[in-house]
Amino acid sequence: MLEGLQQIDVEVLVWINHTFKSDWMDAVMLFCSHKFTWIPWYALLLFLLCKSNPKHIWINLILIAACIALADQLASGLLKPVVARLRPCNNPEVSIQLLLIKDVCGGSYGFVSSHAANVFALFFFFFLKHVFQSAKPLLYVLFVWAVIVSLSRVYLGVHYPGDVFCGALVGIFATTVIVWLEGVIERRYFPPQKTH
């Protein structure tokens, strides 16, 4: 069964890598994949977070940092070294089938994608905390952004589709755990004041 899933992963990867391949798409996907590209986007999210709930901005920032840190540690600190699945660009049997861009491969292992884990951790935080309750289209934009960043990693041949899909699940799981813990702590140590 695992061999069958691996074969599907390779076939989908090769299809994406070949079907959409062009010089301008290379530039777009490199741009989307680069972590510094999104600094203005993060600044906008921070502004919207401040605007939606200014009283709890520091708590929310700490929670976001915790969500991303947990997602990143689960992805890079735990799963990558334990599973030890070579990135497609580092696997000679797979890389020979790909149209790769020079010097973008990254570390040895790729399961799961840290990029996908981190961006989906951030998306799911905004989803669970209802930050964009009055502007739901922004939540859809955030979701599309997370998908584009994740797909850019597949297009570039540094991750299999399964790497980014499972990375997204790791990010969602990490945020769920952090938000749940926040709720437990809040109920235990900061219960709502009873009004008489």
Task: Tell whether 136 is covered by a domain.
Answer: yes
Task: Tell whether 130 is covered by a domain.
Answer: yes
Strand partners, 109: 86
Task: Tell whether 31 is covered by a domain.
Answer: no
Task: Tell whether 194 is covered by a domain.
Answer: no
pTM of the model: 0.91
Task: Tell whether 14 is covered by a domain.
Answer: yes
- Residue numbers of the domain that contains 67: 2-23+39-189
157, 17 contact by CB (below 8 A) = yes
Task: Tell whether 62 is covered by a domain.
Answer: yes
- pLDDT tens for 40-59 read 989 988 888 888 778 888 99
110, 163 contact by CB (below 8 A) = yes
Q: How many domains does the chain have?
A: 1
- pLDDT tens for 95-152 read 999 989 888 888 899 999 999 999 999 999 999 987 776 677 888 999 999 999 999 9
Q: How far apart are the first and last CA of the chain?
A: 62
pLDDT value, residue 136: 77
Task: Tell whether 72 is covered by a domain.
Answer: yes
